[in-house]
Structure 1
Amino acid sequence: MNIAFSPCPNDTFVFHALAHGLIPGAPELKVTYADIDITNRLAAASQGPEVLKISYAALPWVLSEYALLPCGGALGRGCGPLVLSKGSSDPASLAGRRVAVPSERSTAYLLFRLWAAQNVPGGVGEMVVMPFHEIMPSVRDGQIDAGLVIHEARFTYPSYGLDLLTDLGSWWEADTGLPIPLGAIIARRTLDLGALTGWIRASVEYAWAHPEASRAYVREHAQELAPEVTQAHIDLYVNEFTANLGEDGYAAVTALLARAAGEGLVPAVDPAALRLPL
């Protein structure tokens, strides 16, 4: 079975057991490691593997062919994207400014647009899409006015001399009371989705039960992150929602996509389409 997920520590931690043949009955996996903007495009073009990790923001474009699985993804609290600048912590300073974003089909982007509509008088200026690893250096060097960052940037942005304009996760949680939907696991609707869900959930549970087993695999793909940053990343993004979305998880996804559709950012989604068929 072909699967694509990111090389980030949370994904390699979650899928280690499945990718290494440690889950009884599961098929052999052929893994492609790709950033989420690449998997978003593959899924939207119907050219992706059978199973992919994509952004929840990309779901509205792919639900006709792919189903959302209720495990393996990333939702949580205290783990939202950040908006960073240099020399300012006032959201109003973004009015008319250039802001770098890693993707326009990401939860981070949707949260930023929803937040900016409430907090930036007159709106921001140009949105510049650039690779994630270039955003903080570009803000630091004055090539861009502010940057929208995700993942390990939560732990490393002070080393770039940057200031926090807002934590979009904290804003979302205060506004809705719900966790932040970040990365979704989707699978082609032609697959045995029940069996696949069981295998992925078993891989999550194996990772928790045997954390030492995946360390070398995680480190291999961790892009030179310090061990303490890698562990903090896993602790933050692998949680109860990774094992099971549950009602709060589905409510969070529904709320995000409904608000984004209301702003014209994504197509409208029937909430029933987010659940696996019985």
Structure 2
Amino acid sequence: MNIAFSPCPNDTFVFHAWVHNLINGAPAPSVTYADIDKTNHWAVAAKGPEILKVSYAALPWALKEYTLLPCGGALGRGCGPLVLTNDAPFASLEGKRVAVPSEMSTAYLLFRLWAAQNAPRGVGEIIILPFHEIMPAVRDGKVDAGLVIHEARFTYPSYGLKLIADLGDWWEKETNLPIPLGAIIARRNIDTFSLVHWIRASVEYAWANPDASKDYILHHAQEMSEEVVRAHIQLYVNEFTANLGEEGYEAVITLLDRAAQEELVPRINLRELRL
């Protein structure tokens, strides 16, 4: 069984037990570590492995071949993408050059929903950059602003950058719902009952044995400090990781419905999201 997820601490924390054959009855999967932009495109092209971590924004294009699993992903509060600049905050992003990590990311989808309200005449040029290049590009004046994710929430002050907007905070005030970020999907011909059990067991093992995965996480953590790694995990691994639940499904449905209304994603049968 093949799975692809990112080397980010939340993913390695969640999947450590399963990957290391610590879950009774679960076959150890073959893992590909890949940036979310790659897994999104694999899912949309239906050319990826059986199990993938993708952006919720990519779901409408992936659902023909894949189904959404109710565990293993990332939803939460206080964990949304940030819009940053190296100058005093702009009155508006209209006409500005903005770097974003992926055209198919949930971060960029949220940015477009936010910009429809806050820059109605449109931003200027959108520049696609790997997420680790965005803050240096903003700092060095190569772009006017940058959309950042993950551990950038904790590290952007060290680049001398200033916050324009917290899109997670904006989303929560708009909807009173958690922000859907990353989803775990599986090909429709897989036994999802067993798969969900194994992933939930891996999450529970991680919570019960928080130090067991430390070496594995740090090995893949791209030189993050241990303090940033801990903060990253605490922010993105929560009750929704074990079970989307009614509130989690409502958040996903609300995001994709709003995006479809703005013609940013294809309209889908939202009932298909539930197993």
TM superposition score normalised by structure 2:
0.99
Instruction: Name the CA shift for 1:101/1:246 in 2 (closer, same or farther; >3 Å).
Output: same
Cα-Cα RMSD: 0.7
Any unmatched runs of 5+ in structure 1?
Answer: none
Q: How far off its partner does 1:28 sit?
A: 2.0
Q: What does the per-residue CA deviation read over 1:43-70, in whole Å, with 9 as the maximum and x for residues that have no partner?
A: 1111100000000000000101100000
Moved over 6 A (4+): none
Q: Which residue identity is paired with 1:57?
A: A
Contact persistence 1:76–1:241 (CA under 8 A)? yes
Q: Distance in 2 between matches of 1:91 and 1:85?
A: 12
Q: Distance in 2 between matches of 1:250 and 1:60?
A: 14
2:182 partner SS: strand
2:84 partner SS: strand
Q: Distance in 2 between matches of 1:130 and 1:87?
A: 20
Q: Distance in 1 between matches of 2:40 and 2:194?
A: 24
TM superposition score normalised by structure 1:
0.98
Give the aligned partner of residue 57 of structure 1: 57
Instruction: Name the CA shift for 1:241/1:266 in 2 (closer, same or farther; >3 Å).
Output: same
Q: Which residue identity is paired with 2:52?
A: L
Q: How far off its partner does 1:91 sit?
A: 4.6
Any unmatched runs of 5+ in structure 2?
Answer: none
Give the aligned partner of residue 177 of structure 1: 176
Q: How far off its partner does 1:121 sit?
A: 4.3
Give the aligned partner of residue 22 of structure 2: 22
Q: What does the per-residue CA deviation read over 1:124-163, in whole Å, with 9 as the maximum and x for residues that have no partner?
A: 0111111111100000000001000000000000011111
Contact persistence 1:91–1:120 (CA under 8 A)? no
The alignment status of 1:96 with 2:73, answered yes or no, reads no
Give the aligned partner of residue 265 of structure 2: 266
Q: Distance in 1 between matches of 2:125 and 2:38?
A: 22
1:103 partner SS: coil
Q: How far off its partner does 1:88 sit?
A: 2.3
Count of residue correspondences? 275
5 Å-filtered alignment, 1:67-216, equals 67-92=67-92, 94-216=93-215
Contact persistence 1:241–1:249 (CA under 8 A)? yes
Q: What does the per-residue CA deviation read over 1:21-41, in whole Å, with 9 as the maximum and x for residues that have no partner?
A: 000111121000000000001
Contact persistence 1:80–1:168 (CA under 8 A)? yes
1:184 partner SS: strand
Q: Distance in 1 between matches of 2:150 and 2:103?
A: 16
Give the aligned partner of residue 240 of structure 2: 241
Q: What does the per-residue CA deviation read over 1:1-21, in whole Å, with 9 as the maximum and x for residues that have no partner?
A: 100000000000000000000
Q: Distance in 2 between matches of 1:89 and 1:174?
A: 21
Q: What does the per-residue CA deviation read over 1:161-193, in whole Å, with 9 as the maximum and x for residues that have no partner?
A: 111000000000000000000000000010000
1:211 partner SS: coil
Q: How far off its partner does 1:270 sit?
A: 1.1
2:212 partner SS: helix
1:213 partner SS: coil
5 Å-filtered alignment, 1:7-18, equals 7-18=7-18
Q: Which residue identity is paired with 1:28?
A: A
Q: Which residue identity is paired with 1:15?
A: F
2:67 partner SS: strand
